[in-house]
């Protein structure tokens, strides 16, 4: 929840103070509790469209009345891609992310809102994200995995049941000290009328220490303009977003001087995204000791797509 994260609140408040002016029209995408909608009114917004498909957004109606903003805030419980607005907006508030900048169809949602609702000189907050990745050891995740799947008291071997977590995207439990090599910038996500993703085709890391390589930790910097940046980097104060790790299919023992090559890509998929990561680990002589090709596209994802795309019976009036 946004209110539980003072750093996140401070960054958005500072950015809104700069860009929301008296008379501004604002679109709050994924409004949630509506705190940003209320602040937009406080800064002088003439109209705020608070849009969220979650019915909890209706709680904002009462909050708007209590603060005297009932004539300024319009609450809409719907997917923003399925609505029309009577006005073009000057500011779009789009803090719809998870542990990574793209989450739950973020690109499609923001792109559609910019194209249909934003004025020519309008802004999106945040304006852009820079995403970073680094090879990482996940000792706390592995300890928890072993406790649940290997070291239980059930008297049966269920370790194979927990294998689905490997080769997937997990919430990272690692710290800055668990990074095996300095981070590199994977790319930049621009939130504007030209929503785009510029990703590096390949990253090459040289291991700075010995350790167990479990995957690649990812995090982001949110840029609001004028030097205002909010980061969830592992060496920064903790934010509500958390971080993600692109997990390998197994633990790989690496030594200082080993080289790890990885290509990370993301593609839209219905109402979400598919992340993929592929590459190899080479020893000091250049010999490949481990190759990998992983993706968040699993059988369950394909089944959900099939269900969503299945033909439905329709009733037509026969003349």
Whether residues 229 and 141 fall in one domain: yes
Q: Of the candidates 121, 128, 126, 130, which has an alpha carbon nearest to the alpha carbon of residue 16? A: 126
First to last CA, the chain: 54
- Whether residue 241 contacts residue 172, with contact meaning beta carbons closer than 8 Å, is answered with no
Whether residues 282 and 153 fall in one domain: yes
Whether residues 15 and 78 fall in one domain: yes
Q: Specify the CATH number for the domain of residue 198.
A: 2.70.160.11
Whether residues 87 and 134 fall in one domain: no
Give start and end residues of each alpha helix (H) in 35-77. Answer: 35-42, 59-66
Whether residues 146 and 69 fall in one domain: no
Residue 109 forms part of a structural domain: no
Residue 180 forms part of a structural domain: yes
Residue 74 forms part of a structural domain: yes
Distance CA 106, CA 130 (A): 15
Whether residues 15 and 140 fall in one domain: no
Q: Which three-class secondary structure state does DSSP give residue 255?
A: coil
Distance CA 245, CA 131 (A): 13
Residue 315 forms part of a structural domain: no
ω into residue 131 within 30 of 0, thus cis? no
> What pairing do the DSSP bridges indicate for beta strands 228-231 and 203-206?
unpaired
Distance CA 214, CA 229 (A): 29
Count of structural domains within the chain: 2
Segments forming the whole domain that contains residue 29: 2-93
Q: Specify the CATH number for the domain of residue 26.
A: 3.40.50.150
Instruction: Name the DSSP letter for residue 88.
Output: -
Whether residues 63 and 143 fall in one domain: no
- Whether residue 74 contacts residue 48, with contact meaning beta carbons closer than 8 Å, is answered with yes
Residues 6+ apart with CB under 8 A from 243: 99, 171, 172, 174, 217, 218, 219, 232, 234
Whether residues 207 and 288 fall in one domain: yes
Residue 175 forms part of a structural domain: yes
Q: What angle do CA 61, 222, 105 make, to 5 degrees?
A: 65
Residues 6+ apart with CB under 8 A from 96: 29, 30, 103, 104, 106, 109, 110
What is the reported pLDDT for 152?
78
Distance CA 282, CA 127 (A): 38
Whether residues 149 and 68 fall in one domain: no
**What is the pLDDT tens value at each position of the chain, 319 positions in all?**
566 789 999 999 999 999 999 999 999 999 999 999 999 999 999 999 999 999 999 999 999 999 999 999 999 999 999 999 999 999 999 988 888 887 767 888 898 999 999 999 999 999 998 999 999 999 999 999 888 888 878 888 888 888 778 888 899 999 999 999 999 999 988 887 556 677 888 999 999 999 999 999 999 999 999 999 999 999 999 888 889 999 999 999 999 999 999 999 988 776 678 899 999 999 999 999 999 999 988 754 555 555 555 555 444 444 4
What is the reported pLDDT for 195?
62
Distance CA 316, CA 319 (A): 9
Residue 101 forms part of a structural domain: no
Residue 150 forms part of a structural domain: yes
Length of the chain: 319
**Ordered DSSP codes for 157-222:** --GGGGGGGTTSEEE----GGGBSS--EEEEEEE-STT-EEEE-S-EEEE-SS-EEEEEEEEEEEE
What is the reported pLDDT for 2?
64
């Amino acid at each position: 929840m946004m209110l539980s994260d003072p750093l996140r609140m401070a960054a958005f408040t500072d950015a809104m103070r700069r860009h929301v002016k008296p008379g501004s029209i604002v679109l709050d995408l994924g409004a949630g509790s509506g705190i940003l909608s209320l602040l937009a009114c406080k800064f002088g917004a003439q109209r705020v469209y608070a849009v969220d498909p979650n019915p909890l957004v209706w709680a904002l109606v009462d909050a708007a009345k209590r603060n005297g903003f009932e004539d300024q805030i319009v609450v809409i419980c719907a997917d923003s891609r399925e609505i029309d607005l009577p006005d073009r907006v000057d500011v779009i508030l789009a803090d719809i992310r998870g542990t990574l900048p793209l989450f739950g169809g973020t690109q499609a949602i923001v792109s559609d809102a910019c194209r249909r609702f934003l004025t020519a000189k309008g802004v999106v907050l945040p304006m852009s994200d820079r995403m970073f990745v680094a090879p990482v050891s996940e000792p706390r995740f592995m300890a928890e995995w072993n406790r649940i799947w290997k070291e239980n008291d059930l008297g049966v071997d269920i370790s194979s049941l927990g294998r689905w977590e490997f080769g997937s995207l997990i919430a990272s439990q690692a710290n800055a000290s668990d990074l095996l090599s300095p981070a590199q910038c994977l790319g930049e996500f621009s939130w504007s009328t030209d929503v785009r993703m510029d990703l590096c085709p390949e990253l090459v890391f040289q291991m700075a220490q010995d350790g167990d390589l479990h995957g690649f930790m990812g995090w982001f910097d949110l840029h609001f303009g004028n030097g205002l940046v909010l980061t969830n980097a592992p060496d920064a104060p903790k934010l509500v977003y958390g971080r993600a790790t692109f997990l390998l299919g197994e633990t790989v023992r690496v030594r200082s001087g080993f080289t790890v090559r990885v290509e990370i890509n993301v593609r839209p998929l219905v109402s979400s995204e598919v992340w993929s990561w592929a590459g190899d680990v080479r020893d000091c002589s250049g010999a490949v000791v481990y190759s990998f090709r992983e993706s968040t596209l699993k059988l369950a994802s394909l089944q959900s797509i099939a269900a969503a795309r299945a033909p439905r019976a329709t009733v037509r009036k026969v003349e």
